[in-house]
Structure 1
Amino acid sequence: MEALQKSLEKVRKELHQHPEISGEEYETQKKIKAFLTNNASCTIVEVAQTGLVAVFEGKENGKAIMLRADIDALPIQEVNTFQHQSKNKGVSHKCGHDGHTAILLGVANRLTKYPIEKGKVLLLFQPSEENGNGAEMILNDPFFKNTNIDFAFALHNLPGFKKHEIVVKSGTFTSNVKSVAIQLNGKTAHAAEPEKGYNPANAIATILTFAEKESKNLSDSPDFILITPVYVTMGEKAYGVSAGYGEVHFTLRSWDTKLIEEKRKKLEKFLAQLEQKHSLKIEASWFEEFYSNTNDDEAISIIKKSAEKQNLSINEIKTPFKWGEDFGLFTQKYKGAMFGLGAGKNSPALHNPDYDFPDDITMTGVHLFYSIAKEVLDL
C-alpha cells in the first residue's frame, strides 16, 4: 500500500509539473495511458479527443458504475517554489485535478489487484471541465452513446474542510453557472470632443450597477442569484481619444435554472434599452454553462455507507457550493452524486496561485471510490 501511495504521489507531481488547459490535455492523456498500461489490467478507450476511459469488467453481467476524475489545469501563474512547480508558464493545477487523476489511477490499481466478479466499472479521465465543455463532449462520444451506466460518482477536494472528511449533501450540491460577454460598439472621437462620438463608459457603469442590484448573494436562500463582474475593458491608453468600444463579462450563479433564465432575459432586455439610449450596438454572448450537480438520494446513501466502512468522518452540509462543476451534466442523465474530500482547514483555496493538492488524502479517495464501486456492484 505504501508503494502505491508513493507511486501515485510521483505521478501526481509529474502531472502538476506539466499542466495543460482545457482541450489541450494531450500530454496528460499520454501520461495517464502509460500509467494504466504499466499498472492496470483493463481496456483503455480514448474519448473526446483528450480523454480516456479505463474499463474493468467482471465475468458476470451486472450493474455499470462510472467514476470520474477531471484532468485539465487552469490559466493561472503558479507562485509556489517547490520542486514540482509548474514548468508551463501561466498554467497550473490550482483546482487539484492532478490529485483527482492520481486518485482514479489508484482505483485502477485496486481494481487490478482485487478484480470485480460481476458488472462493469468505468474510470473516466475527463478533459475540459474548467470551461464547461468536457461533460457534453463525453456524452456525445460514440463510446458513451453505446454504454449503459447505472450510477455515476465524482469527488472534489475541498480546502477549508478537515483532511479526509467526506462532505455530502442530497439534492443540489453545486450551483448552476452561466457566463456572458457583453460587447459595446460605439464610435471613437477626439477626447476634447466626446460628443462627436459614442463612448460606452456610461452604459458600462449602468450595466455594472444593474448587476449589483439584481444579485441576491444569500446562499441559504432558494432565490439565490449572483451576478459577478469578472472582466471589464474600454478603449485604449490613448489620451486624446474618447473610447468607442468596451466589454463587460459576468458569471451568473443560482440554485435554480429558471431563475438564471429569468435574469438572462431581463439583462438582454435592459441591454436593448441601453443600446437605444446611448446609440451603441450591444451584443451579449453566452457560454461556459454548468448545470447544477443534483445528487441522488440512493447515491448519497451509497457514499455514506462506504465512508462508514472506511471509518471516515462524514459532514452533511445544508448549503450547496456556489461554484460550478460540469459533472452536473452527468447527474442530469444518470443516477449519481458528487461529494467532497476535505483537503485541510488551512489549505489555500481552490484557484489560488499558491494552492497545491495534498498528497496525504489521495489514498482516502482511492479506498472510498473502490468501496463505492463494490457497494454498487453488490446491489
Structure 2
Amino acid sequence: MHKTHWLQIRHRLHQHPELSGSEQATARFIASQLQDLVPDRLYTDIGGHGVAACFDSPNPGATVLFRAELDALPINEINTFAHRSVTPGISHKCGHDGHMTILLSLASYIANNRPERGTVIVLFQPAEETGEGARAIVADPVFSELAPDYCFALHNLPGYPMGQVMIRSGSFNCASRGLTVRLTGKTAHAAYPETGISPASAIAELIQTLPGLAKNITQEELVMLTLIHCKLGEAAFGTSPGEAELLATLRTESDSAMNRLIETVTEHCRAVAQQHSLSISFEWNDIFAASRNDSECADYVARAASEYGQPVQWLDEPFRWSEDFGAISAASRGAMFALGAGETTPQIHNPDYDFPDQLIPTGKDIFAAIYRQLLR
C-alpha cells in the first residue's frame, strides 16, 4: 500500500484516542483492518481489548510475536494540526498511534509474504500506560494458545537522531511501581494537639529518610525512590491532623532489586509508624516489571537495522523509563528496542508531542527484516 494510506491510518488513530482499559473503538478499528488482510486466525478481547492476528504456514517452525499498544494518555493536546485529538483531555502523547500503524503496515507486508515456516503474530495490547495490559494478556488463556517462542516490540524516543536504533542485551528498561503510604492517628483541637495523635513528625521523617534507603539496596545497578506527593490532614486551622499520605515511585533495574527495595521501604515505614503510635497501610499502583532482552533477539534487531542502513547504538545502561512489555518477554524470548524520533521532537508525554510519520516505514522495515530472519 502507498505510504499515504499509512499516514491516513496514523492520523485517524491520533484523532480518536482512548485511555487504558477503554480502547473499545480503537480495538474494533484495528480488528477491521486486520480482517481485510485475511489472517488465518483473528482473536479479539484478549486481556481486555487486545487484538491478535496470526499468519500460519503449513511447515513447522517458530512462533514469532510483534507487539504494539492501543492506549493513549490523559493529556490535553495543544497542537493545532488537522489530525489533532477530537477528545478533550485525551491524546496519543506516547506515540502508540504510530506503533499501531507500524504493526498494521507489517501485517500488510506479511499478508503478501506469508511465512514459509512457523507462525507470525501481530498483537495489539491494551493498557500499557498503567502497566496492567501485558500482564492481562499473558494471563489470558488465549496467550497459552498463541505460545510465542520469540517476541519483539519497539518504542519511539525523541531526543535521539531520527531512525537510530538503540538496543542492549539484558535489562532494557526498569521495573517501577507507585507506592502510597497512609498513616492514621487521631485528630484533635488545634489548641490541644496533645490530646490527639498527629502523623506530622512521622511523615516528615519519612520524607527525609525514604529516598536514602534506595542507595543501600545494591551498588551494582540502578535503584531509585522518588517522592511524588504528600498530604497532611485537612486545610482546617482549628484541627490538629490525624491522617497523612505520602506517594513515592520505586524504580530498579531488575525485579530482584525491586523486591529488596519493597521489603526495605515497607519495613522502615512500619517501624516509623510504630514509633509514633500510628497505624499504617500501603497501596501499590502502576506496577511494571523490568524488561530484559534476550541476547539472540537483540542481535536479530541489530542485524535487521543494519540491513536497512539504520545506525545502531548498543547501550551501556538500561533506560530508566518503564514499559510493560517485560511481562510478555518474560514469557518467551524477546527484545524491545528504541527508535530515535528526532533530536528536536517534543518529548513523549509533552502536550505538543506528535509521532513522526517518517518512522512508520523504518519501524515496519526493521520488524519485517526480523520476521524474514526467523520465518522466511
Q: Which residue of 2 aligns with 1:33?
A: 31
Change beyond 3 A, Cα 1:35–1:229: same
Q: Which residue of 2 aligns with 1:101?
A: 100
Preserved contact between residue 295 and residue 337 of structure 1 (Cα < 8 Å) = yes
2-structure distance, mates of 1:260, 1:140: 22
Are 2:170 and 1:135 equivalent residues in the alignment? no
Aligned length: 375
2-structure distance, mates of 1:195, 1:18: 56
**What is the CA deviation profile of residues 81-117 of structure 1, one whole-angstrom value per residue up to 9, with x for unaligned ones?**
3222223232222211111111101111111222222
Alignment of 1:118-157 (within 5 A): 118-157=117-156
Structure 1 consecutive aligned stretches of length 4 or more whose deviation exceeds 3 Å: 38-42
Q: Aligned partner of 2:130: which letter? A: N
What is the aligned counterpart of 1:328 among 326, 329, 334? 326
Q: Aligned partner of 2:280: which letter? A: I
Q: Which residue of 1 aligns with 2:49?
A: 50
Q: Aligned partner of 1:323: which letter? A: W
Deviation of the 1:39 alpha carbon: 4.8
In structure 1, the residue corresponding to 2:160 is in which secondary structure? coil
Preserved contact between residue 199 and residue 243 of structure 2 (Cα < 8 Å) = yes
Preserved contact between residue 40 and residue 109 of structure 1 (Cα < 8 Å) = no
Deviation of the 1:216 alpha carbon: 4.0
Q: Which residue of 1 aligns with 2:113?
A: 114
2-structure distance, mates of 1:137, 1:256: 21
1-structure distance, mates of 2:339, 2:153: 10
Q: Aligned partner of 1:349: which letter? A: Q
2-structure distance, mates of 1:259, 1:212: 15
Deviation of the 1:169 alpha carbon: 0.7
Deviation of the 1:354 alpha carbon: 2.1
Q: Which residue of 1 aligns with 2:353?
A: 355
**Aligned-pair identity (%):** 38
What is the aligned counterpart of 1:311 among 275, 293, 309? 309
Change beyond 3 A, Cα 1:334–1:25: same
Deviation of the 1:158 alpha carbon: 0.9
Q: Which residue of 1 aligns with 2:18?
A: 20
2-structure distance, mates of 1:16, 1:204: 42
In structure 2, the residue corresponding to 1:146 is in which secondary structure? helix
2-structure distance, mates of 1:352, 1:177: 21
Change beyond 3 A, Cα 1:48–1:258: closer
**What is the CA deviation profile of residues 239-265 of structure 1, one whole-angstrom value per residue up to 9, with x for unaligned ones?**
332222221111111113332222222
Alignment of 1:220-299 (within 5 A): 222-299=220-297
Preserved contact between residue 39 and residue 54 of structure 2 (Cα < 8 Å) = no
Preserved contact between residue 19 and residue 92 of structure 1 (Cα < 8 Å) = yes
After superposition, the CA RMSD in angstroms is: 2.1
Change beyond 3 A, Cα 1:40–1:351: farther
Structure 1 unaligned segments of length 5 or more: list them: none
In structure 1, the residue corresponding to 2:9 is in which secondary structure? helix
User: What's the TM-score, normalizing by structure 1?
Assistant: 0.93
Preserved contact between residue 214 and residue 261 of structure 2 (Cα < 8 Å) = no
1-structure distance, mates of 2:57, 2:319: 36
Deviation of the 1:300 alpha carbon: 1.1
Deviation of the 1:179 alpha carbon: 2.1
1-structure distance, mates of 2:291, 2:106: 23
2-structure distance, mates of 1:307, 1:121: 19
